[in-house]
Structure 1
Amino acid sequence: MGTLHKIGEVKKALSLFGEMKDLNLELNPSTYSIAIQCFVENGDIQEACTCHNKIIEMSHVPSVGAYSYLAKGLCKIGEIDAAMMLVRDCLGNVTSGPMEFKYALTIIHMCRSGDAEKVIEVLNEMMQEGGALDDVICSAIIYGMCKYGTLEEARKVFTNLGERKLLTEANTIVYDEILIEHMKKKTADLIPSRIEVFWSGIQVESKG
């Protein structure tokens, strides 16, 4: 499965995973971690979360790669709260988590200041260190500013990134839409989602 995934044969890797399950083979955490990455690439976050749950049930933790894929997958479908919870879980369970995860938590903490400039300083430091401005980082800005700051300050951060050509115009618009929706949910103190997270692992209940 790992080899198939590395060469881009995601569907074949998932087919092999399905065959192993059909044969009732005992799957280990490494196999589930690879499956998480494949399911995320295939756009099936529901199944990726199910694999995560299986690993937790075995009293193990996913691979760093699986954590990274799943967090980004959750961000892409707007499940920001779940993604940030996963980021914290990863850093609490592995000795060397992704740089972007560490900076995501730093960004969330800096959002407590409610100051866009301070968040931008953290982003600049991260990029100087070689960190990527990915979905997890942008979601951390949204999460932090919606929880501790304001819509206006969050927009200042994304506008700055757009003006510096660090975000495309299309991505800037997408993140602004996600920001507005997430702030609405936070303001209403209600987070309806397709993926409900109850932490003893990410236990997922589909709402169809």
Structure 2
Amino acid sequence: MIQRKPLPSVVKFNQLLNALTKMKHFSSSLDLFKQMCAIGVPVNEYSMSIAIKCCCQMSRTNDGFALLASCFRRAVVPNVFVFSTLLDGLVLEDRIIQAERLFKKLIKQKLCEPDVVMYSTMIKGLCKFGNNDIAIALLRLMDERACKPNVVVYSTIIDSLCKDKMIEDAFKLFSVHMLVKK
């Protein structure tokens, strides 16, 4: 692809990046991304988000943040998927405090409006570290911000409450969830 004249569109490169990433060839995907940048392919938010995801899946979230800075330099506006991916990377690396800081910054500075995936990522991280109270507070924040929690969100918190032997609280949340579904 790189040797063709004219170069294929960024869409074709993105398709290849995405295929490599789906096969979990994160390193190869990042190598291709670097080659794209080196030869002047006009990378877009989709290619940037794939590269950031690869970094995070390889426990190289700091490199993902470096790519985020590159987004701004290239006038590529990061979307909710990019920020969710970075949050997930921080959670995977057990860096929940940094994840919380980033999440608060995104909301406070209105860098993006969190969606159910982003909330779910944060709740997963909070529950992983036994921060059930904060996870439940985040669940309430979702309601306040008109972001409807899904079954994954409820299941994550209920599972964490049960693991922490807070069965009564788990049943209460389950009951609320069942009422919401009706």
Normalising by structure 1, what TM-score?
A: 0.44
Q: Flag the structure with more relative contact order, 1 or 2, with Cα contacts below 8 A and sequence separation at least 6.
A: 1
Normalising by structure 2, what TM-score?
A: 0.49
Structure with the greater alpha carbon radius of gyration: 2
